[in-house]
Chains A and B, each alone.
Chain A
Amino acid sequence: MEKVISAKLYFTVWAILMCLTAATAALSYVNMGALSPVVALLIATVKGSLVVLFFMHAKYIDVKTTVLVIVAGFFWLSILLLMTMTDYITRAWS
């Protein structure tokens, strides 16, 4: 059955997303060297996961094939990003 989620949960997720946005904006003033992009992208990933899981209802999908579609899609994207960057980063090693 279609799961109906409470407005309270949506407002909570929204509040967390707004806080994380404020946090990542504030952290951009701090120079953490090579860690800066890592922290910024980690926060983005937490925010993105919240959007996908709660706003896009991925957490509540009852059709298993749909879950497979989503997981396969992100897995494919990670192949694109990780394998290409592995190539670029290791080119200078020889």
Chain B
Amino acid sequence: MSDSSEALATHELRHHFENMEQQRGASSMGMWVFLITEIMFFGGMFMAYLAYRYEYFLAWQEGSQHMNFWIGTVNTAVLICSSLTMVLAVLAIQQGRRRLTSIMLAVTICFAIAFMVLKGMEYHEHWLAHEFPGPAFHFAGIDPRHVEMFFVLYFVMTGFHALHVLIGIGLVSTMLYMNERGHFSADYHNPIENTGLYWHFVDLIWIYLYPLLYLIGHHHVG
């Protein structure tokens, strides 16, 4: 009550919380609970990937060689850069620098769009090479049935990841809009912080998808 900055932010304090600090802690914990369910969601797919890789090792090796190593590597770097700009946006709003926050959020969106464009080019390449699972799937090497299974997991895992990137673009855009409308300050910025957590989670998933899909088996080329 005596804290003046707290008094300024009181209109953002929901009535069921004692103070801003408690509200912030609860908001962050709620986001983490959600992210853990997301980790479980992707965890199931990682589990399927590992189990099938163990069972059909040769087919997995064959499939890995048809990944675009360079697009995968560049996209990894793009997402790490977007994570940096996202965390800098959170830092800027913690310091009450709204203008800088908006700039950092906008740069994050640009990186995310760059990721999606590269991913789209990669999908297009696979489509033209008849590597998309289904009736048009064609693979000349050994064990095409299980190579197709590799591609099923590749498209499902990267597809769900790409969906999360799209949702992330929506969230960050919303934060940019709200920030421009003056919704956030050094005292109240839980939505930006939680959007940051979501965005870093998307990066975290890709950090594991990258070695599993693009790196393992890459050295067998040539």
Contacts and interface: CB of A to CB of B under 8 A. Distances in A.
Size bracket of the B interface: 35 or more
Contacts of B91: 4-5, 7, 10
B210 A44 contact: yes
Given A10-B88, A84-B47, A66 B80 contact: no
Interface string A58-94: 0001110110011011101100110011001100000
B48 to A, nearest CB: 10
Contact of A77 (B39, B84, B88): B39
B39 A55 contact: no
The SS class assigned to the B binding surface is: helix
B66 to A, nearest CB: 15
B15 interface: no
A21 B88 contact: no
The SS class assigned to the A binding surface is: helix
A24 B39 contact: no
A17 B36 CA distance: 23
B47 A43 contact: no
A66 B28 CA distance: 8
A56 B29 contact: no
A47 B207 contact: yes
Interface in B53-84: 54-55, 69, 73, 76-77, 80-81, 83-84
Contacts of A74: 39
Given A4-B94, A37-B216, A21 B76 contact: yes
Contacts of A18: 77, 80
B80 A21 contact: yes
A62 B204 contact: no
A73 B39 contact: yes
Contacts of B54: 85, 88-89
A55 to B, nearest CB: 5
A65 B28 CA distance: 11
A66 B88 contact: no
Nearest to B28: A66
Interface string B24-67: 11001100110110011001101100110011000000000000
Interface of A: 1-2, 4-5, 7, 10-11, 13-14, 17-18, 21, 24-25, 27-32, 36-37, 40-41, 43-44, 47-48, 51-52, 54-56, 61-63, 65-66, 69-70, 72-74, 76-77, 80-81, 84-85, 88-89
Interface of B: 21, 24-25, 28-29, 32-33, 35-36, 39-40, 43-44, 46-47, 50-51, 54-55, 69, 73, 76-77, 80-81, 83-84, 86-88, 91, 94-95, 196-197, 200-201, 203-204, 207-208, 210-212, 214-216, 218-220
Given A10-B84, A18-B80, A85-B50, 19 more contacts: A2-B94, A7-B88, A7-B91, A11-B84, A21-B77, A28-B216, A29-B218, A32-B219, A54-B87, A55-B84, A55-B87, A56-B200, A63-B28, A73-B32, A73-B39, A74-B39, A76-B40, A81-B46, A89-B54
